[in-house]
Amino acid sequence: MARCIIIDVYECNGCGSCVEICPDVFAMNDEGDKAYLLDSEAEVTEKVEEAAAYCAQKCIEFD
Ligand code: SF4
């Protein structure tokens, strides 16, 4: 079964690095303080894994 992407918004500090690495999957909310998924069923690609690896808060997870 395909893995899904989860952002722990409580831990997210709004650094924006996931959006820089993978703008087709992640975006910042209107306040610019939390990331969210553009598509909740987005595939876990290498870029998504890279974004997770670079997330300083380690709040991008896979289920
Ligand atoms: S890289 Fe992590 S902490 Fe930074 S905006 Fe994305 S989810 Fe939030």
Rounded distance between C-alpha atoms, residue 27 and residue 46, angstroms = 17
At residue 2 the predicted structure's pLDDT band, cuts being 50, 70 and 90, is confident
- CA–CA distance from 32 to each of 27, 36, 40, 60 (Å)? 9, 10, 19, 17
pLDDT in tens, 12-32: 999 999 999 999 999 999 999
What type of residue is 26? F
Determine which residue's CA is closest to atom 8 belonging to ligand 1: 12
Atom of ligand 1 nearest to the CA of 7: 7
Per domain, the residue ranges of the chain are 5-62
CATH assignment of 5-62? 3.30.70.20
pTM: 0.95
HSE (CB half, 13 Å, CA atoms) of 19? 15
Using a 6 Å CB cutoff, which residues line ligand 1? Answer: 7, 12-18, 35, 55, 57, 59-60
Atom of ligand 1 nearest to the CA of 57: 3
Residues 6+ away with beta carbon under 8 Å from 23: none
